[in-house]
Structure 1
Amino acid sequence: MKMTYVLPQTGRTENEEQEDWDGRFGDFLIDLQTQEGLTDLTIRQLQLHLRAYDAWLKELGRCWTSARREDIQEYLQQVRDHRSASTLRSKLWSIRRLYAWARENSIVTVPSCWMMVARRTYERKRTVVPSSHQLQQLLELPDTSTDKGLRDRAVLELLYATGMRATEILSIKLHQVVKDRCLRIMGKGQVERLVVYGEDAAYWIAQYKEKRQMMLLKAGHSVVATQQLFVSMGKHAAYQYFELRRMIRAYAQRLNLKLTPHALRHAFATHLYQGGAALRTIQLLLGHAQLTTSTIYISRRIEDSKKMMHIHHPREDGYKPYRRWSSG
């Protein structure tokens, strides 16, 4: 018996959206979400990738269960030619996970080497990290005399103050905001962690909360339409990811920057590091299981390297030897 996967937020099934959707994709998504605790946003992205891959194969007259390795490589090459490196990585991950799951469940009998299909090296696109001065300018752009501006300022302050992921920010419930400026959130992989934030973020969250109910009413929603902290003034009561991304992009463009919600997470880590925070501390605050993952989020500037050389290299003017190494 095939299971039917229900799309997050829409409540519609795959069969309702597309009659030829393979029910085994639904089984795969349910197993992945249940076993690994992936977010609805990640599951939705997987679903879109599977749909595109399946449609491409059907144009060749093939089913995904009988696809050859060469077919997959040709598909990924097409993605490489027309899409960004991050999209290629995401689609490659989706396909590898699909076939690994299908092999474990005896749906396909492909060699284990297929799990490494098309794992070629390619340049990772570097996230542009704004300076602390640019971030301060960004935070001051929202018009806080309006309800929308208050919400935008609160969101931006909290993103920069905590380095939380976009999905984590959007999943905060109203009752989680307490006076001690500490949030207990469920992060990636259903790993719980504590998040702390400063007085600036607390101030703007408090200002926004006073207008939250009015925002819901103005948008035609009930005041109990959602328990999420951040609400929308559109057709959805809860603030959506596409609205968050659009908001940050619009403010960033006014500063001639190209920023995403994830870029603020990088800025959080980078500015902590520039301020002297230990890598282990940054790892803890970001909620990473591996230290090497945290280092990806830190963008070192050439100015930082020059400053380090000036202070710590014996051939530089700013060098001061430790007492234990000085003579006498």
Structure 2
Amino acid sequence: MKWQNAIRDYQLYLKIERGLSQNTVESYSRDLDKLTLFLEENDIKSSPISIDKTMVQQFIYEVAKKVNPRSQARIISGLRSFFDYLVFEDYRETNPTDLLEAPKIGRKLPDTLSEEEINELISAVDLSHSQGERNRTILETMYSCGLRVSELVTLKISDLFFEEGFIKVTGKGNKERFVPIHYNAQKYITIYISEIRSHLKPSKGFEDTLFLNRRGKGLTRQMIFTILKDLSAKINLNKKISPHTLRHSFATHLLKNGADLRAIQQMLGHESITTTEVYVHLDTSYLKEVVETYHPRK
């Protein structure tokens, strides 16, 4: 079995059987590309079936010199998944990564903005041009609904259910969920559709896409990063932010104001409550308030 064929079959498995997004599939593939490049550069003839633990360990050792522990742990996890697939398909009997230990890494707390910083960021949008109205709507929507950037750029007009107060979001693995949307975001979306988007001619295939660029096509993830980066510089925000920062801020502010963790989990589309629990660690004063408010010995 050649590496190229094995990786292609694995990609199909991730996409079709596990329902992972294209971005996730590409991330897994990059780690395997690094492994095959290492084998090629060192003139190692091992195939996906014959490669053993020693070779994989040697690769990880070389990788460890170039990346941080978190990236190293992610690569080991990706390789483990690939070889698990080969074992599952009966191409191999054992997984050469089974006894490999990933570096111990602490849980990384997400960056957040305060409510004042969110307001300042949105207020900095230049509304003198049509893209400004769109950009303000984008920020309001992301912060109102806690969307991932991939969920935002694929949002469709047919996903808007304003009478019910919800939008339909397609998340990781094409899993759909309904998320409440704040009336402010509804207002700005309505204005954007009627006054800005209505003057654009959507390109073929983007007729239902909510947010469009000037050429009538959907926005890219990088465009959203750029919008935030420019606004951050404009207000001299001394923080490194990304679209995910708005999502983290959404969850943190809800929790701080008394929202139920399970409800936040559903809105964010987290499969496990453990993923959502990271927000509890952002503000320990919240825990103190919970005990003081609800403990029977208060």
**TM-score using structure 1 length:** 0.78
Give the AA of the match of 2:28.
Answer: L
Find runs of 4+ consecutive structure 1 residues off by over 4 angstroms. 223-226, 302-305
In structure 2, C-alpha distance between the alignment counterparts of 1:123 and 1:77, rounded to whole Å = 21
CA RMSD of aligned residues (A): 3.0
CA–CA distance in 1 between the matches of 2:4 and 2:252? 43
Query: Larger relative CO (CA 8 A, sep 6+): 1 or 2?
Result: 2
Q: 1:188 to 1:116 in 2, by over 3 A?
A: farther
Deviation digits for residues 24-49 of structure 1 (CA, Å, limit 9, x no counterpart): 21111111111121112212222323
* Segment drifting more, 82-91 vs 200-209: 82-91
Aligned equivalent of 2:157, options 159, 174, 180: 174
Cα deviation 1:268-288 (Å, max 9, x = unaligned): 111111101111221121122
The 1:202–1:52 alpha-carbon spacing in structure 2 relative to 1, beyond 3 Å, is: same
Q: 1:224 to 1:70 in 2, by over 3 A?
A: closer
Change in CA separation of 1:64 and 1:295 when aligned onto 2, cut-off 3 Å: farther
Helix, strand or coil at the partner of 1:270: helix
Find 1:54's aligned residue among 36, 48, 51: 36
- Tell me the amino acid that sits aligned with residue 203 of structure 1: K
1:42 aligns with 2:27: no
User: Do structure 1's residue 229 and structure 2's residue 210 form an aligned pair?
Assistant: yes
Partners of 1:188 and 1:321 lie apart in 2 by 35
Give yes or no for the alignment of 1:29 onto 2:14: no
Q: Distance in 2 between matches of 1:321 and 1:250?
A: 43
Query: How many residues of Structure 1 are paired with residues of Structure 2 in the alignment?
Result: 292
Q: Aligned partner of 1:82: which letter?
A: K
- In the alignment, is the contact (CA less than 8 A) between 2:14 and 2:20 conserved in 1? yes
Report SS of the residue matched to 1:115: coil
Question: Is the CA contact (8 Å cut-off) linking 2:86 and 2:92 kept in structure 1?
Answer: yes
In 2: Cα distance, 1:325 partner to 1:297 partner: 26
Deviations along 1:15-72, one digit per CA (max 9) or x if unpaired, are: xxxxx97022111111111112111221222232322222122112233513332333
Residue segments in structure 2 that go unaligned for 5+ positions in a row: none
- Give the match for residue 120 of structure 1: 103
Instruction: Give the Cα separation in 2 of the matches to 1:86 and 1:157.
Output: 32
Q: Deviations over 1:99-138 (max 9, x none)?
A: 1101112223324x73353323123433221111111111
Residue 248 in structure 1 maps to residue 265 in structure 2: no
Pairing 1:95–2:79 present? yes
In the alignment, is the contact (CA less than 8 A) between 1:170 and 1:230 conserved in 2?
yes
Return the alpha-carbon distance in structure 1 between the equivalents of residues 153 and 79 of structure 2.
Answer: 28
Cα distance, 1:259–1:114 mapped onto 2, change above 3 Å? same
Q: Which residue of 2 aligns with 1:317?
A: none
Query: Residue 126 of structure 2 aligns with which residue?
Result: 143
**1:301 aligned to 254, 268, 283, which one?**
283
Contact 1:36-1:190 within 8 A present in 2 as well:
no
Q: Percent identity?
A: 24
Partner residue, 1:212: 197
- Segments of 5+ residues of structure 1 without an aligned counterpart are 3-19, 313-319
TM-score under structure 2 normalisation?
A: 0.85
Q: 1:261-313: CA deviations, max 9, x gaps?
A: 222211111111110111122112112222111112444236556x639x83x
3-state SS, counterpart of residue 184 of structure 1: strand
SS of 2:179's equivalent in the other structure is: strand
Question: Is residue 2:272 matched to residue 1:290?
Answer: yes
Aligned AA for 2:268? L
